[in-house]
Amino acid sequence: MPAKIIDGRSIAAGIRENVAKEIKQLKGIIPGLAVVLVGDDPASKVYVGMKKKACDAVGIYSQEHILPAATSQRELLELISTLNKDSRISGILVQLPLPDHIDEKEILRAVDPGKDVDGFHPVNVGSLTIGARTFAPCTPAGIIELIKSTGVDIKGKRAVVVGRSNIVGKPTATLLLAENATVTICHSKTQDLSFECKHADILVVAIGKSRMITGDMIKPGAIVIDVGTNRVGEKKLVGDVDFDEAVKVAGHITPVPGGVGPMTIAMLMKNTLEAAIRNMER
């Protein structure tokens, strides 16, 4: 029997609908999101446009700050300082990657942790690690929602995360630990990747290599979350998992596109709402 498809678009739509309802109950307080993009990367521009559309749909006030690639670090820091002080802005998102001449770590540290809806500020990363209230990075938070949508209890399951990036791999592993999974992180130096993957009840793959995880590397009945988005040819998008093979083995699997992608923006909307609520509590 083929795996059940985890429909990220449908689950994300439900989250956005709940966010819109909660915003209507805030009694005149409108959450605000500022998105900052430096440079003219086409993919990033499309993503920024999708975020604006999502904000409009749920009732979030949005600002876009699209800066030339030659923008200096000082100019970017000045903009972030202004946004930190702007009472209309609940959340600030700096689109990554930044141009090489800008220190990414310094920029992320400059964002007010209370407005860091991406969850990348060191304060928020530390809070996530110790289990304190914080903003979970959007893609990892979405991954947990996708896993829970299957109805499978994460507690006690063996989870394997392939990829150790600060944006996806590490925070996903932290969130899985918080759900009481037994977690293994695999990376380029892992000696027997196939062995590790094949023993996973929950397999999350975020490595950026087209169809690297094949069907014979997956435990029968496993939940497979494919974070990868790789372009093959001019139009086709494929994941880091060989979907055609994996769907014959897994119990549940996310498609590419239509799996993790929609969840990232939905969780951003949820984090922006949470930021607005926290600002009310200050």
3-state secondary structure 47-76: HHHHHHHHHHHHCCEEEEEEECCCCCHHHH
- The token pair at 250 is 């897994």
- Report the SS3 class of residue 273: helix
Active-site residues: which are they?
Answer: 51, 95, 118
- Distances from the Cα of 177 to the Cα of 11, 173, 184, 247, angstroms: 23, 6, 10, 26
**Structural tokens at position 53:** 């559309």
DSSP sequence for 205-267? E-S--TT-B-GGGS-TT-EEEE---EEETTTEEE-SB-HHHHTTT-SEE--SSSSHHHHHHHH
CA 32 – CA 225 distance, rounded (Å): 31
Report phi then psi at 63, rounded to 5.
Answer: -125, 140
Q: Which residues of the chain have pLDDT under 50?
A: none
Q: Which domains are present in the chain?
A: 27-112 (3.40.50.10860), 137-261 (3.40.50.720)
Predicted confidence at residue 45, as pLDDT, reads 81
pLDDT in tens, 210-232: 999 999 999 999 999 999 988 88
Name the pTM for this structure: 0.95
* Selection from 1, 9, 11 nearest residue 147 by Cα: 11
Rg of the Cα atoms in the chain: 19
- Give me the pLDDT at residue 233, please: 75
Strand blocks (E) in 143-201: 158-162, 182-186
pLDDT the model gives residue 80: 98
Bridge partners for 183 per DSSP: 159
